[in-house]
Chain A
């Protein structure tokens, strides 16, 4: 075995060199160090970029693009997202329809030759069929699925008005989806013939008057324009139930939601810092009374009192309801930050460096601003980051039950509330705002996790 056997020479001190005294690594302050650690956390960095993107989306997009979140496009209600924006210009002249003489018969036969007249589009769909002997009128149904039987024909559109009429014009809120029209003949005693079905996929149509009023065609070209195609205003993410552009509303809604979600926590965390800092710094009896009050406010059931305060403050006509919501959030949100800061300040007060500063004659102001505040900033920042998603959730929850911002001001929560009603037929109206809320909350949650890890110097590896 070759063991190391030190000789006395090995134990002599080395000569001091200048190189040993040089600090190789740059000296980092607490915040520089935290920032360095945050940058190493990939999830936190991605979240940070996401948050910046969301802010850009809501606040910079309106500067770059003309977005109109309130104008209603009644020809494009609940449009699913698509790039197809061509529309046929049509003349919605009253249609006379088709009439045919009827002969009497014992039994009703099936309706035959059911077909569409002309091109079907969303302004009207016109149907004709051959007369059925013995029928006194016909009943027309519309379904969005293939009918599976005589009891599953969908929406009853109406009955023909005279015995001889063998046509029907559907003007009822047509969309560019596939419809199944069914027609059955009804006899004098109410007996019904077997139905026949035709599958129709209407394209988008716009009436010529509408096209003129939108400036898509000139009034003097009226006659020539009928039957041509025009390009409508694009709706990249579709429209809502009033035909308002979803993208524009998401941007405007983001302004509301992010404003409430960021400003309210900023306000109540600052209030909590002042309150808790004061309680902790003063200590003794004042501290006890102040914190007892904070305990009471914490014990209030949060959402119930959010609703109560929201009701109490009310919304006047023409107001958006953002301020009452902010106030309610601030009134109820501050105690948790106050508790946190008080605990920190109580600990700091006993720290040797604070005592040393005091012994050296530091005044209150110096102690607070030089020693207390910088040392509580870390936890405050983390609790602020976690307060933001919960404020956004609260806004969404209140808007969802109709206690949030007042229409027509959009917020992601109130858009979800609107979208719920037509979730089954037009899922995009709920999906997009819900997705925005989820992405925002997720980003702030992950950023908060990252910040907490980065600011906690003890777990540095």
Chain B
């Protein structure tokens, strides 16, 4: 187990390095010059600026400096916002995205497991048909449509109640979070429901279930202790990709609900070509996702004792 974790950590680090390099290459392919000014600047000032940002050095040197800065966790200064370091932007806005993401993940995982179990229990009867239809709809409608519909629903609800039950947009209290988190988790919940259903059906036909039944164990006990616990395992494996989907899905939800999360700042930075913010956020998100997938994989090793991950190797 120890060697496995070490190996995975090492490959994770290499992946993060690859992400940082790809980001560097990508950003240097961007046409135009971040220091180009519509007003004519004298060549001396231009030179000074280039020296300040290290843009006069050869590309390889720039790359080394960039990697050094990344290693020290210094993402530089924003190009468009006055006196704001990228680190500050991440520190300030990532917790917002993370809070929303965790809530969305909880809703998605909880909902997925429950609905998946329900469909498996009522296989080929109407609850199964209805839920699976909703699942198909949920994976076919773009997230921004759900976000708009969510907002419309809040508006109509508030109109109906005669007072403001839930805020339409913004951030601050738990009441701001419910609808955005639900919208954000919807796609993942649909995916997990599907997965949980097929995994439950697979387990239903397993020998140990038949044995448990033959022993005369009560149905509920079989359901919870034998069926559900084993069926949840595949759900755990996809939590890593699910976190990735929820983090990037947050862009749209944060945009529509005016939530001051990192996703909204990233989109803004892209639209304004804020080089350092784009690079910093991409590397940060990339590293975050790699670590999350890693954590889920290691967790899986603990949860499922059948998997001798250490022996199989990375």
- For chain B, residues 14 to 44, give those with C-beta under 8 angstroms from any C-beta of chain A: 14-15, 18-19, 22-23, 26-27, 29-32
Cβ of B139 < 8 Å from any Cβ of A? yes
What chain B residues lie within 8 Å of A307 (beta carbons)? 266, 270
Is B142 within 8 A of A393, CB to CB? yes
| Residue in chain A with minimal CB distance to B143 | A397
Which residues does chain B contribute within 8 Å of A420, judged by CB atoms? 144, 148, 256
Inside 8 A of B148's CB, which chain A residues have their CB? 420, 423, 430
16 A-B pairs within 8 Å (CB atoms) are namely A296-B14, A299-B19, A299-B286, A303-B251, A311-B270, A311-B273, A312-B29, A314-B30, A314-B31, A393-B142, A397-B142, A400-B252, A401-B267, A442-B136, A442-B140, A445-B140
Q: Give every chain A residue within 8 A of B31 (Cβ-Cβ).
A: 314
Q: Which of A115-134 contact B (CB under 8 A)?
A: none
Q: Are A312 and B141 in contact (CB under 8 A)?
A: no
Q: Which residues of A contact B (CB under 8 A)?
A: 295-296, 299-305, 307-309, 311-314, 389, 393, 396-397, 400-403, 413, 416, 420, 423-424, 430, 434, 437-439, 441-442, 445-446
A401 and B29 contact, Cβ closer than 8 Å, known pairs A393-B142, A416-B144, A441-B140 = no
User: Is B290 positioned at the interface, with any CB of A under 8 Å from its CB?
Assistant: yes
> Smallest CB-CB separation from A299: which chain B residue?
B15
User: Which residues of B246-301 are within 8 A (CB) of A?
Assistant: 247-248, 251-252, 255-256, 266-267, 270-271, 273, 278, 281-282, 285-286, 289-290, 293
List of B residues within 8 angstroms of A438 by Cβ = 137, 140-142, 145
B3 to chain A, nearest CB (A): 19
Which partner residue on chain A sits nearest B18 by CB separation? A296
Interface string of B28-62 (1 = CB under 8 A from A): 01111000000000000000000000000000000
Closest to B268 in A: A401
Number of interface residues of B (CB under 8 A): 43
Tell me, rounded to whole Å, the shortest Cβ–Cβ distance linking B63 to chain A: 16
Is there an interface contact between B22 and A416, defined as CB atoms closer than 8 Å?
A: no
A389 to B191, CA, bound (A): 14
Task: Verify if B121 is at the interface (C-beta below 8 Å from A).
Answer: no
| Cα–Cα distance between A308 and B29 once the two chains are bound (Å) | 10
Contacts of B29 in A (CB 8 A): 312-313
Interface residue? B244 (CB, 8 A): yes
Q: How far is the CA of A304 from the CA of B19 in the complex (A)?
A: 11
Contact partners of B278 in chain A: CB under 8 A: 308, 311
Give the CA-CA distance A397 to B14 in the complex, in Å.
29
Q: With A299-B19, A300-B19 given, can you name 17 additional A-B contacts, CB distance below 8 Å?
A: A295-B15, A296-B14, A303-B248, A304-B282, A304-B285, A305-B22, A305-B26, A307-B266, A309-B26, A314-B31, A403-B271, A416-B144, A430-B148, A434-B141, A438-B140, A441-B140, A445-B139
Report if A430-B252 is in contact (Cβ < 8 Å); known contacts: A308-B26, A401-B267, A445-B140. Answer: no
Q: How far is the CB of B10 from chain A (nearest CB, A)?
A: 13
Cα distance, A389 to B142, chains bound together (Å): 11
Docked Cα-Cα span, A400 to B143, in Å, equals: 10
Q: Residues on B close to A: CB < 8 A?
A: 14-15, 18-19, 22-23, 26-27, 29-32, 136-137, 139-145, 148, 152, 244, 247-248, 251-252, 255-256, 266-267, 270-271, 273, 278, 281-282, 285-286, 289-290, 293
Closest to A420 in B: B148
List chain A residues, Cβ under 8 A from B286: 299-301, 304
Residues of chain A lying within 8 A (CB to CB) of residue B139 = 441, 445
Q: Smallest CB–CB gap between B85 and chain A, Å? A: 20
* A residues near B18, Cβ cutoff 8 Å: 296, 299-300
Cβ of A434 and Cβ of B290 under 8 Å apart?
no
Dominant secondary structure at the B interface: helix
Question: Contacts A313-B29, A401-B252; is A305 near B282 (CB within 8 Å)?
Answer: yes
Known: A313-B29, A314-B31, A401-B252. A446 touches B136 (CB 8 A): yes
Residues of A within 8 A of B266 (CB): 304, 307
B248's partner among A302, A312, A445, A446 (CB-CB below 8 A) is A302
Contact of A299 among B32, B152, B251, B290 (CB under 8 A): B290
- Of all chain B residues, the one with the shortest Cβ separation from A304 is B282
Judge whether A296 and B27 touch: CB under 8 Å. Answer: no
CB distance from B292 to the nearest CB of A (A): 11
**Chain B residues with CB under 8 A of A397:** 142-144, 251-252
* Residues of B close to A302: CB separation below 8 A: 244, 248
By a CB distance below 8 angstroms, the chain B residues around A309 are 26
Contacts of B145 in A (CB 8 A): 416, 430, 434, 438
Contact A301 B30 (CB under 8 A): no
Q: Within the assembled complex, what's the spacing in Å between the Cα atoms of A446 and B18? A: 36
Please name the residue on chain A nearest to B264 by beta carbon: A401
Q: How far is the CB of A257 from chain B (nearest CB, A)?
A: 11
Bound CA span A423–B19, Å = 38
Chain B residues, CB < 8 A from A393 = 142
Specify the chain A residue showing the minimal Cβ separation from B289.
Answer: A301
Assembly CA distance A441 to B145 (angstroms): 14
Chain B residues whose CB sits within 8 angstroms of the CB of A413 once the complex forms: 142
A329 CB, nearest partner CB in chain B, Å: 15
Determine the chain A residues whose CB is within 8 A of the CB of B281 once the complex forms.
304
Task: Kindly list the 5 A-B residue pairs having the minimum CB-CB distance in the complex, ordered from nearest.
Answer: A442-B140, A312-B29, A303-B248, A441-B140, A296-B18
Most A Cβ at <10 Å: residue of B144, B266, B270: B144
Chain A CB within 10 A, most for which of B19, B29, B32, B140: B140
Question: Residues of A contacting B273 with CB < 8 Å?
Answer: 311
Contact of B142 among A299, A396, A423, A445 (CB under 8 A): A396
Using Cβ atoms and an 8 Å threshold, which residues of chain B touch A300?
A: 18-19, 22, 286
* Cβ-closest chain B residue relative to A444: B140
Inter-chain CA distance A445–B247, complex, in Å, is 23
Given A296-B15, A301-B285, A304-B282, check contact A400 B26 (CB 8 Å). Answer: no
Closest to A393 in B: B142
For residue A392, which residue of chain B has the nearest CB? Answer: B142
Identify the closest chain B residue to A296 (Cβ). Answer: B18
Residue of A nearest to B282 (CB): A304
Q: In angstroms, how far is the closest chain B Cβ from the Cβ of A415?
A: 12
Instruction: Contacts A296-B15, A307-B270, A400-B144 given; indicate if A312 touches B30 (C-beta within 8 A).
Output: yes
Smallest CB separation, B294 vs chain A (Å): 10
Cβ contact within 8 Å between B26 and A301: no
B26's partner among A312, A424, A430 (CB-CB below 8 A) is: A312
Query: Provided the pairs A301-B282, A301-B286, A416-B142 are in contact, do residues A308 and B23 lie with their beta carbons within 8 angstroms?
Result: yes
Closest to A431 in B: B145
A416 to B22: give the CA distance in the assembly, Å. 31
Distance of A306 from chain B, by nearest CB (Å) = 9
